[in-house]
Homo-oligomer: A and B are copies of this chain.
Amino acid sequence: MDDTVARRLDELGIVLPAPFGPVGEYDAAARVGDLLFLSGTGPVRADGGLVTGKVGADLDVDEAREAARLTGLQILANLADQLGSLDRVVRVVKLCGMVNTAPGFLHAPAVIDGCSQLLVDVLGPAGRGARSAIGVAELPFDIAVEIEAIVQIAEVP
């Protein structure tokens, strides 16, 4: 099999983490036709810990962008787990990025770019789609960022 994305991950020196998995009565993803809806996920460090805190107070923009990148790694790990191969990703259709903001923090798009840039680096143009970014009051376990995704996928040949 021509596992193009796996090769690209190697080139970038990226080893996908284990998917963090659901924290309640839901699944990591659900598919309808060629649309795969991914549950909201968050930033997991290499040591398995979560990146927590308020962006604009506990984390600055660069730290929050790195948290968004780690969340993007979780999205890729979930996709690989669901699909077998990331080559089945046709396009990342939509991201919704929710930033755990301190009052007055207005740069959610710059933060979520940490995820979007990773997806483009790994998947090429297929990693780029529509997006929303907002600042929310609180996130589960105080994670700094939560991102959900809708992904167009190819059927298994």
Size range of the chain A interface in the assembly: 35 or more
Contact of A136 among B32, B39, B136 (CB under 8 A): B136
Residues from chain B with a CB closer than 8 A to the CB of A140 are 106-109, 133-135
Across the interface, do A26 and B116 meet the contact criterion of CB distance under 8 Å?
Answer: yes
A84 an interface residue at 8 Å Cβ cutoff?
no
A20 an interface residue at 8 Å Cβ cutoff?
no
Interface residue ranges, A against B (CB under 8 Å): 22-30, 32-35, 37-40, 91, 93-96, 98-99, 101, 103-110, 112-113, 116-117, 120, 128-142, 146, 148, 150, 152
Given contacts A112-B24, A113-B25, contact A37 B93 (CB under 8 A): yes
Interface centre among A23, A29, A101 (most CB of B within 10 A): A23
Q: Residue on B with the closest CB to A93?
A: B30
